Amino acid sequence: MSRSFAAPLAAVDTVDVADTAAGGRVEAVKRIVAGDPYLAGHYPDFTIYPGVFTLESVQQAIRHWATRRHGPGTVAELTAITSISFAAPLLPGDTLRIGCDLSEHEDTPGAVRAKVRCHRGDGALSARMTLELRIERTDDDDDA
């Protein structure tokens, strides 16, 4: 299945990827900008970065890792949210810092678990989550 996620939303500004034998580590940053169109009306009197966008930021960071580790044409599809909690709001002017530890399942090819902690620029924990993903290679010709 081919899907374009959150296009044209760029939910990460920078991504740093490190590979390990069992998976990898991803660190990403998203600056929350007051003028971004997805903030308009998200609580008119108390604008916050939506939790679903925090999840999208994490997914986009993981997609960078999957492409680097497995090559172009690789997709990382979310298959399960094992746990997710939001601890502090992200407001315009804040910086979201994402840290993902990724581990590939030895017994299930393509299965990856991501343990994620998100912090605001001031160091406060904003979210934590454990995600399950499936890594697959795609063929661009399948979209035709």
Residues noted as catalytic: 42
CB-based contact 96:43 (threshold 8 Å): no
Measured distance CA(121)–CA(141) in Å, rounded: 42
Distance (Å) of CA 135 to CA 5, 60, 77, 143: 15, 13, 6, 18
Reading the block at residue 2, the tokens are: 């081919």
Measured distance CA(8)–CA(4) in Å, rounded: 9
Residue 99, classified by CB atoms within 10 Å of its CB into exposed (0-12), middle (13-18) or buried (19+), is middle
